[in-house]
Amino acid sequence: MEKIIADYFADYTQVFRDAFLQMKQAYELGDIDGFIDGTNQITKKLGGNVPFETFKEFEEIMDSSEPLKI
């Protein structure tokens, strides 16, 4: 049981580690799409749905007359 739990958390830990590193690097470079990709990796790993993959898609949502659903 301990091995299963350790493997489970190791997978999540690695995704978080990689995503935060990507977000840090993207922030330092001013790479908005890279930052969004990092945050989306975490969201997807936790079973969530991402409303946009790029800044352009985000802008389209913001410019839309549809209500923003979070």
Parent domain of 47: 2-63
Quote the pTM value. Answer: 0.82
Share of the chain above pLDDT 90, in %: 76
For residue range 18-50, what is the model confidence (pLDDT) as tens digits?
999 999 999 999 999 999 999 999 999 999 999
- Give how many domains the chain has, as a whole number: 1
The answer to whether 43 touches 50, Cβ cutoff 8 Å, is: yes
Angle, helices 2-29/32-45, rounded to nearest 10 degrees: 160
Residue 69 belongs to some domain of the structure: no
Both tokens of residue 28? 């330092």
For the beta carbon of residue 61, count every other beta carbon within 10 angstroms: 13
Residue 12 belongs to some domain of the structure: yes
* Helix ranges, the chain (H): 2-29, 32-45, 55-63
